[in-house]
Chains A and B, each alone.
Chain A
Amino acid sequence: METLCTEKTPEPGEFTDILEERRRNSDLSYALRTFSPQPYKGHPPTSASALHQAVLDSHYLRYVTQEVATESGEPVDVIREEAAGILEEMSHNLQLSFIRLLGYTLSKVFKRVFRRILVNEEGLNKLQQAIQEYPVILMPNHRSYVDFLVLSYVLFTYDLSIPVIAAGIPLMGMKLIGEILRRSGAFFIRRAIGSDKLYWAVLSEYVKTIVRTGSAPLEFYVEGLRSRTLKSLNPKLGMMHMVLEPFFKGEVYDICLVPISISYDRVLEESLLAHELLGVPKPKESTTGLLKARKVLEDDYGSMHLCFGQPLSVRELSKGRISRSQYNLVPRDLPQKPSEETQAFVSMVAHGVVRLQERGVVLSPWSLMALVLLQNYGGLALDSLAQRTAWLRGLALKFGALLDWPAQVPDEEVMLSSVSLHGSLVCCEEGRVFLLDEQGSSAAVSSVSPEEAVLKRAAVVLMCASYRNQALHVFVRPALVAVAMPTAPSSRKEDVFTQFKFLQELFSNEFVFVPGMAIQDFEEGCSLLLRCGALQISGQELTVTEDEQEIASFLRAILQPFIQTYQVVFQHLTVDGSQVFTERQYIPVLRSYVLKLILAGELHTYEALSSDTQKNVLHTLLRMEAVTKMKTGDQSKFIVNKADIQRIGDILAGRRPAQSAAFSRLNQGHARRSVRGGSTSERESRGTGELRKESGKCQLLFATCSLHVVERCWRLGTLPGDTYNKA
C-alpha cells in the first residue's frame, strides 16, 4: 500500500521514453495507424454537432435564456441566437484526421526539442481502465504552452481517447492555429467572464454535457492559468464546480479525476516568464509570434516527465461530505447556488488535486541545484555544489520527492550536464559555478545603467528561482515548522503550531495547502523533520537537534526570499507608501521602491522584484483584512491599515506572538470573541485548544502515516496498485 513515506527513488524503469520508439520508426505510419481507443461504457463518442444540439436543447439553458430575456427586455429568440453564438465560439470540433496531422508534426518537433518524453505506463493503464468505466477528467498542472499538446500526443500514442480541452480564448485568436487546436479537441473559454450570466450558462451546460455523456475525457487546468513561477497555483473553482455537478445531481454514477504532473528539465518559455514577472508584458498570442518563436525550437530542452496519478473516485471522496439528496426537492435543471458543504468539498478536491499533482512531479537535479545556488548568489565551487546537491538529494528523498537522477554517473558530471543544459542561466568557469548576468558575462558592459543591471540579474535569479519552485512543495511543510520554531513565543508544541498556522495563513497564496488541514500539514512537517533527525520532541516541547542544525537552517533559508519580500512590502506599505493607492499604482511604485533598496545595498533579495509575489502579498493582506478594497466608479482603491500590517510583520519576525494578533482570535475559542466582526481566517477554523482535542483523535492517523491523509482516503477501490511507487 501507499505509505508515501519514501526512502526510495522510483525505479527509472517505471518511466518509459515514448520518443525512443519514434526515433526508431516511421512517424507517418505512426500517425496513420489504426486508432481505436476503448470508449466510455462501450458507447462511441458523441459527435461535436450532437453535443452542440444537446446543449442548446437543455432545460437549463432554456431557463437561463428566458431569465436573461426577461431581465434585458430583449426577445427570447435574440438571446437564444446569442447563446448559439457563444457556443459556436466555444465548442471543440475534435476530428481524428487532425489528431493524426498533429501526431505527425509533433513527432518531428518533440524529437528535436526534447531528449526524452517520459511517462509512467502504470498510470496510463489505470487511466485506460478508468476511461471505459467513468467520465474521466484529466487534470494536469500547467507549466508550458506545450503541456496539452504533449498530453494529447501521449494519449494518442497509447491508443487512449483524445480529450477535449478547456483552453483560454487568446489561443483561439491565433489564425489557423486556433482552428487546428479546435479540431484537436480544444474548446475556448473567455478570460474575464465576470457576471455574464448567459456565458456562464452556456459554458457550464457545455462542460456538464461532456461529463454527463462521457463522450470524451475532459481536460482542464485546475490552476486556471499557466504558472509563471513554475510553482503550483491555488486552484480556481469555477470549472471544478461544473465538472463535479453531474455527480452531485446523480446524473452520472461517478466521475474519475486523474491528476497529471508535468515537469520539464527546462521550460520552453523560461525567459518569457521571468520578464513577465519583472513587468515586461506578455506578447499577445499570435500565429506570427509563434512563427518567430521558431528559434526556441532549435534549442535543447532536456527531458520532460508526465506522471499520471492514481485515478480518484469523486464518489469515494464525497462519502460523508456531500448529501446528493440536497437536490431532491428542486428540479435539477434550475440554476442553484451550491450549498456550503458543496463549496467546501469542491475546494477541498481542487486543492487536493493540486497537492497530488505536486507529489507526482519528477524533479531534475537542476531543481535541487537551483535551491543550492539561490542560497549562494555569488556562486560556489563545483565540488561543493555537487556535495551540497547530493546532500539535498538525500533529504529530498527522505521527504518523498520523485527524482530523475541519472544512475551510475558521478555527481559532478550530473552537475556539469545540468549546467550545460541551462547555459543561459549558469556557467562553470575555473571550477566555480555561478549565475550569469543575462547577457552571458558577469562583467557588465558599461553602457548598462545600474537599474538595468539589477533587472537583468533579477531576470536570471527569477528564472533560476522558478526551477527551485518546482521543488518547493517537497520542503515547504518542514520548512514552515523550521521557521515557526524560533519565531514562536515558546517551544511548546501548541505555540509552534499557532505560529505555523499563522505562517500557513500568510503564505497560502504562495504555496498550496488543502483548506482545513493545518493540523495534518503541521504533523506532516514535524514528522518529516523527525525522520531526518532534525527535530526532537520531548513531552510538549519541540527542539531542533544539535547535530542537524544544518537541515533546519537550510530549510529556513529556502523560505527566506519569500519572508523578506513580504517584509519589504509590509515596510513599504506601513512606512513609505501612502495610505490609499489604486490597483494600477501598486506594482510600479512597489517595484521602484524595491529597486531603490537593492541599489542602496539594503536588500539582497532579487526575488522581491517578482510581481507575482508582490501581488500575492496584496491578496494576502486583503484576505487578512489588513488592506481593504473600495470600489469607486470603475477604479478600485486599496486602503491600508498600517497598524494591522505592522502587527503581521511583527508576528512574522517573531517580535510578537501570534495569539495576540487578529488572525489568532479564533484560537481563543468562544470565550473571547473578537471585537471585529467578519473572519480573517476562512481556511482554518481550528484553534490550539482544539489541537489538543484533535490530536488525540488524529494520533493514530498521524502515527501511522501522517503524510497523506487526503490521499489515503482517495484511493479508488476498484483500481488496485500504486501509481506513485513510493511504497
Chain B
Amino acid sequence: MASNGKSSERQKIAQQRLRIIAGHLRKQEELDHTDIAAQECKAESNSNAATPNSMPRKRQEIMKWNGWGYSDSRFLFNKKGQAEFTGKRYRLSGLILPSLKDWFEGTFGANLQHKSPATPAINASAVHPPNLSESFVEELKATGIPFSHDTEDRVFRAHGHCLHEIFALREGRFGRCPDMVVWPNCHNDVVKIVELACKHNVCLMPYGGGTSVSSALECPPEEKRSIVSLDTSQMNRILWIDEKNLTAHVEAGIIGQDLERLLNESGYCTGHEPDSMEFSSLGGWVATRASGMKKNIYGNIEDLVVHIKMVTPRGVIEKSCQGPRVSTGPDVHHFILGSEGTLGVVTEVTMKIRPVPEYQKYGSVVFPNFQAGVACLREVAKQRCAPASIRLMDNEQFQFGHALKPQESSIFTSFVEGLKKFYITKFKGFDPHQLCVATLLFEGDREKVLQHEKQVYDIAAKFGGLAAGEDNGQRGYMLTFVIAYLRDLGMEYYVIGESFETSVPWDRVLDLCRNVKERIIRECKDKGVQFAPLSTCRVTQTYDAGACVYFYFAFNYRGLSDPLSVYLQVEHAAREEILANGGSLSHHHGVGKLRKEWMRETISDVGVGMLKSVKEYVDPDNIFGNRNLL
C-alpha cells in the first residue's frame, strides 16, 4: 500500500514536471535563438520570454560604469536647487525631495556651487591592453562560449562598489583590469572554462552581481597571468521547483530581483532580500555568506541553501542527497559558503522556497533615545518575536530618512505630519536630537500579522516607544535601496562616504555604536576634515545572542589634498575600533581583500591554516587567484 502511494506520488511529480518543461519549451519556441551556447546546455530552458533577462552581457548598456545602479536612475539637484530622483523604476522616481538640499548642505557643509564632476567616459587609452593567453582563447573559441576583451566590458568587471573603487573610476583611473570576460551559459560551460583555465594556467575570477564592498573583485596587481572574469549573469534560470519539499533548483548567476519575480509567478518566494538584491546574484550570496533583510522569517543564506554545486580545479563538489540536516562530518557546504571565489564557481543551488505571504505591513516606533531602542530590540529578540525585519536607526539616520521625504501631496498631509511632530516632541517630551526610530516589517497571514504587530508594539511601549506609522517604516526601508544612488550624488559635490557592518553581542551594542561613531568623528578631525562627518548607525538584525550593526559615514573632502587616503585611514580606524569593542570582522559583507589583514587575529593561526590547506588541495595552482580572504 505504502509503495503504491509512493509511486502514485512520484507519477504526479513527474507529470507536473513535464507540464512545467512543456511550458518552458513552448515559450522557447517563440524565442529568437541568439545564443549559440544555449544549444550545448542540457538546461531545459533558455531565458524566459515572460521574464526577459534583466542583466544583459553588456551591462554598461543599462547600468552606470562609474556609479551605482541603472543609468536612468540618479539623484540630481535641478535648476531650482531641489533634489529629484530620475527614471521610473523606484517609488521615489520622478519625485522632488524638498528637504534633501538643506540636509545635505547642513550635514556636510557642502555647497551646490562646489562641484566635483566625474570623468564623463572611459578613456580607453588609460586602460592597459589585455594580456591574453592565445592558447586559452583558441580553445575557448572552439567551445562556442561567448567572451570579450572589449575595454568597457573589462573595466566594468574590474571593481566592486567600495568607495575607493568608484572614486578612482570617477577620476578616470583604472588599475589592473581582467584581460577578458567570459559568459558561460550553464554548469557545463563552467566546467569547460575551468578545465581550460587549468590547462593553460589562466587566472579565473568569478563575477556575479558586481556589488562587492570588500575589494573582492579588484584584480591583484601582482598577478602576471591572464585574468579572465567569469561572468555568471547568463546562468540565470530556475531549473525546477519542487512544490512538495518547497525547494527550487536555480542557476547561481540569477540576480535577486529576477529570482524573486520568477518565483512569485509560481506563488513562491525565497524571502532572501539583501539590500543589494536588485543586482547581487545567488552565487555571490553563497560565496560571501549573505544575509537578507527578512532573515528572521526565512533565515540567512546558509539556512536557505539545501544543495550547492561548485566547479573547482579538482572537479565538481556537491552532496549526494537533499536531506534537510545531516551528520556526515564537517559540513562541506561551509567550505563553499564564504569562500569568496577562491575555490571555484558556484553554478547551481537548491534552496528553500516559501509561499508568497498573504499580507505585508510596515510599521515604525519612535523611541526617546537610542538606548531605549536597543533595549527594546533586545527584549524582542529575547522573546523571539522579531518581525520579518526590525531595524533601529539612530537619530542622525532618522533625520537623514526625513530628508528623503517626497513633496507632500497635499496641505493636509503636511498638516498631519506637523501634528505628529508636535505630539512627539512637545507633548511627549522627546528631544528631536535624541529620538530614534525603529522600522518594522511584518509578513504572514493577516490575522497573525496583526496579532504579532500588537505584541511588538506592546514591548516597545514598555521602553517608551510610540507607534509612528507605516509611512516612516516604509521610508526607512527605501533608504537602504537608494543610499548607494545618494552616494553618487554626494560625490558630485565633494562628499564621499561608505557603509560597513559588524555583528556584536547584545551587551556591547551600545558601547560599540557610541565608540565607533565617536572614533570616526575624531579620526576625521585629526586628519584635517574641515566639517564634522556624518557618522551614523543602525541595528539591522537581531539574533538570540547579539545584533548586526550597520554604519554609514561620509564627509566633505574639500580642502584635503588626498581625500582617498584620509577616507581609507578613517575606515581602517573604524574597523579597529569595532574589533576592540568585541564586534566581528564582518556580518555579511565578507572579507575580500579589504579586511584580509585582520583574518589571522579573527580566526586564529590554526583557523587560517585550515582554510589554507583546503585551498591548497582544491586549487593548488591558484587558478581562482582573486586572493581574497587569506
Please name the residue on chain B nearest to A331 by beta carbon.
B507
Residues 527 to 562 of chain B near chain A (Cβ within 8 Å): none
Chain B contacts of A251 at CB under 8 A?
511
Q: Report A718 CB to chain B, min CB distance, Å.
A: 7
**Proximity string of chain A (322-348) to chain B, C-beta cutoff 8 Å, 1 when within and 0 when not:** 011101100111000000000000000
The one of B515, B526, B582 that contacts A253, using a Cβ cutoff of 8 Å: B515
Collect the chain A residues with CB atoms within 8 Å of residue B580's CB: 250, 323-325
**Distance (Å) between the CB of A45 and the closest chain B CB?**
17
Give the chain B neighbours of A323 by CB distance below 8 A. Answer: 580
**Among the listed B507, B511, B522, B579, which residue makes an inter-chain contact with A718, where contact means beta carbons less than 8 Å apart?**
B522
A sample of 9 inter-chain contacts (CB < 8 A) reads: A250-B515, A250-B581, A253-B514, A253-B518, A253-B519, A324-B580, A325-B581, A333-B507, A718-B525
B518 CB contacts on chain A under 8 angstroms: 253
B508 within 8 A of A: yes
How many residues of chain B have a CB within 8 Å of chain A? 15
The answer to whether A717 has its CB under 8 Å from any CB of chain B is yes
Taking beta carbons and an 8 Å cutoff, which residues of A are in contact with B?
249-251, 253, 323-325, 327-328, 331-333, 717-718
Interface flags for B300-342 (1: CB within 8 Å of A; 0: not) read 0000000000000000000000000000000000000000000
Question: With a CB–CB cut-off of 8 A, which chain B residues contact A327?
Answer: 582
Closest CB of chain A to B549's CB: distance in Å?
14
Report the nearest A residue to B511, measured CB to CB: A250
| A686 to B519 CA separation, bound complex (whole angstroms) | 36
B512 CB-CB contact with A under 8 Å: yes
Q: Complex formed: what's the CA distance from A531 to B526 in Å?
A: 36
B582 lies within 8 A of A325 (CB): yes
Tell me what chain A mostly uses at the interface: helix, strand, loop, or mixed: loop
Query: 0/1 per residue, B491-533, Cβ < 8 Å to A?
Result: 0000000000000000110011011001100100110000000
Q: Which 8 A-B pairs have the closest CB atoms?
A: A324-B580, A250-B581, A253-B518, A328-B582, A250-B511, A253-B515, A325-B580, A251-B511
Whether B525 pairs with A324 at a CB distance below 8 angstroms is no
CA distance A324 to B519 in the complex (A): 14
Q: Please measure, in the bound complex, the distance between the C-alpha atom of A716 and the C-alpha atom of B514, giving whole angstroms.
A: 20
**B interface secondary structure, majority:** helix
Show the binding face of B for A, using Cβ within 8 Å: 507-508, 511-512, 514-515, 518-519, 522, 525-526, 579-582
Do the beta carbons of B515 and A332 come within 8 Å of each other?
A: no
* Residues of A contacting B508 in the complex (Cβ-Cβ under 8 angstroms): 250, 332
User: With contacts A249-B511, A323-B580, A333-B507 known, what are 13 further pairs, Cβ within 8 A?
Assistant: A250-B512, A250-B515, A250-B582, A253-B514, A253-B515, A253-B519, A324-B580, A325-B579, A327-B582, A331-B507, A718-B522, A718-B525, A718-B526
Give, as a whole number of angstroms, the nearest-CB distance from B458 to chain A.
24
B525 cross-chain contacts in A, Cβ below 8 A: 718
User: Given the known A-B contacts A250-B581, A324-B581, A325-B579, are A717 and B526 also in contact in the complex, defined by CB atoms under 8 Å?
Assistant: yes
* Chain A: CB-nearest residue to B582: A328
Output the nearest chain A residue to B512 by Cβ-Cβ distance. Answer: A250
Q: Could you tell me if A332 and B522 are in contact, using CB atoms closer than 8 angstroms?
A: no
Closest CB in chain B relative to A602 CB, distance in Å: 61
Give A427 Cβ to nearest chain B Cβ, in Å.
Answer: 58
Distance in Å: Cβ of A4 to nearest Cβ of chain B: 23
Q: A261 CA to B338 CA in the complex, in Å?
A: 57
- Residues on A with C-beta less than 8 A from B511 are 249-251
Query: Who on chain B is nearest to A332 by CB?
Result: B507
Question: B522 — which chain A residues lie within 8 A by C-beta?
Answer: 718
Complexed CA–CA distance, A328 and B512 (Å): 12
CB closest chain-B residue, reference A325: B580
Q: Name the residue on A nearest B514 (C-beta).
A: A253
Chain A residues within an 8 Å CB radius of B582: 250, 325, 327-328
How far is A253 from B518 in the complex, measured between Cα atoms in Å?
A: 7
CA distance A717 to B579 in the complex (A): 23
A251 to B509 CA separation, bound complex (whole angstroms): 10
Contacts of A324 in B (CB 8 A): 580-581
Cα(A331)–Cα(B507), bound, Å: 8
- In the complex, A249→B522 CA distance in Å? 19
A333 to B507 CA separation, bound complex (whole angstroms)? 10
Neighbouring B residues of A332 by C-beta, 8 Å:
507-508
B584 to chain A: closest residue by CB: A328
When distances are taken between beta carbons in the complex, the residues of chain A under 8 Å from B581 are: 250, 324-325
Give A251 to B507 CA distance when docked, in angstroms. Answer: 10
Give A204 Cβ to nearest chain B Cβ, in Å: 18
Cα distance A159–B114 when bound, in Å? 43
Best-surrounded residue of B508, B512, B526 (most CB of chain A within 10 A): B508
Inter-chain contacts of A253 with B (CB < 8 A):
514-515, 518-519
Q: In the complex, which residue of chain A has the Cβ closest to the Cβ of B581? A: A250
A596 to B297 CA separation, bound complex (whole angstroms):
89
- Cα A251 to Cα B514 with chains together (Å): 9
Whole-angstrom CA separation of A331 from B512 in the bound complex: 15
In this complex, which of A250, A251, A331, A333 has the most chain B Cβ atoms within 10 angstroms of its Cβ? A250
B29 CB to closest chain A CB (Å) equals 61
Complex Cα distance, B150 from A327, in Å, reads 52
Cβ of A717: which chain B residues have Cβ within 8 Å of it? Answer: 526
Closest residue of B by beta carbon distance from A333: B507
Closest residue on chain B to residue A717 by CB atoms:
B526
Measured CB to CB, the closest approach of chain B to A95, in angstroms, equals 26
Closest residue on chain B to residue A42 by CB atoms: B433
With A and B bound together, what is the CA distance between A323 and B581 in angstroms?
10
Please, how many angstroms separate the alpha-carbon atoms of A328 and B578 in the complex?
A: 11
CB contacts (< 8 Å) of A331 on chain B: these are 507
Kindly provide the distance from the CB of A215 to the nearest chain B CB, expressed in whole angstroms.
15
CA separation between A250 and B504, bound complex, in Å?
Answer: 13
Give Cα A333–Cα B579 distance, bound, in whole angstroms.
19
CB-nearest residue of chain A relative to B508? A250
A313, closest chain B residue (CB): B522
Q: How far is the CB of B578 from chain A (nearest CB, A)?
A: 10
Q: How far is the CA of A328 from the CA of B507 in the complex (A)?
A: 11
- Chain B residues with CB under 8 Å of A333's CB are 507
Q: Choose among B507, B526, B582 the residue with the greatest number of A CB atoms under 10 Å from its CB.
A: B582
A168 to chain B, nearest CB (A): 33
Q: CA separation between A331 and B525, bound complex, in Å?
A: 33
**Shortest beta-carbon distance from B116 to chain A in Å:** 29
Nearest-CB residue, chain B, relative to A324: B580
Report A341 CB to chain B, min CB distance, Å.
Answer: 14
**Whole-angstrom distance between the Cβ of B595 and the nearest chain A Cβ:** 15
- Closest partner residue, chain B, to A323 (CB atom): B580
Contacts of B526 in A (CB 8 A): 717-718
In the complex the two chains form, what is the Cα distance from A713 to B587 in whole Å? 36
Tell me the nearest residue of chain A to B510, going by C-beta.
A251
Beta-carbon nearest neighbor of B515 in chain A = A253
Q: Considering the complex, give the chain A residue whose CB is closest to the CB of B516.
A: A253
B521: shortest Cβ distance to chain A, in Å? 10
Q: Which residues of A contact B507 (CB under 8 A)?
A: 331-333
Minimum C-beta distance from B581 to chain A (A): 4
Min distance, Cβ A324 to any Cβ of chain B, angstroms: 4
Q: Give bound CA distance, A323 to B577, whole Å.
A: 11
Query: What is the chain B residue whose CB lies nearest that of A254?
Result: B518
Task: Give chain A nearest CB distance to B280 CB in angstroms.
Answer: 30
Q: How far, in angstroms, from A717 to B521 measured CA to CA in the complex?
A: 13
Roughly how many angstroms separate A253 CA and B582 CA in the complex, as a whole number? 14
Q: How far is the CA of A332 from the CA of B505 in the complex (A)?
A: 11
B22 to chain A, nearest CB (A): 58
Q: Which of A253, A323, A327, A717: most chain B CB closer than 10 A?
A: A253
The chain B residue sitting closest to A246, CB to CB, is: B511
Contacts of B512 in A (CB 8 A): 250
Chain A nearest Cβ from B510, distance in angstroms: 9
Give the shortest distance, in Å, between A335 (CB) and chain B (any CB): 16
For residue B576, give the distance in angstroms from its CB to the closest CB of chain A: 10
Say how far A387's CB is from chain B's closest CB, in angstroms. 51
Cβ–Cβ < 8 Å partners of B519 in chain A? 253
Residues in B whose Cβ lies below 8 Å from that of A718: 522, 525-526
A252 to chain B, nearest CB (A): 8
Interfacial chain B residues near A328, Cβ < 8 Å: 582
Smallest Cβ distance from B322 to chain A, in angstroms? 37
Q: How far is the CB of B315 from chain A (nearest CB, A)?
A: 39
Distance, CA A323 to CA B512, complexed state (A): 15
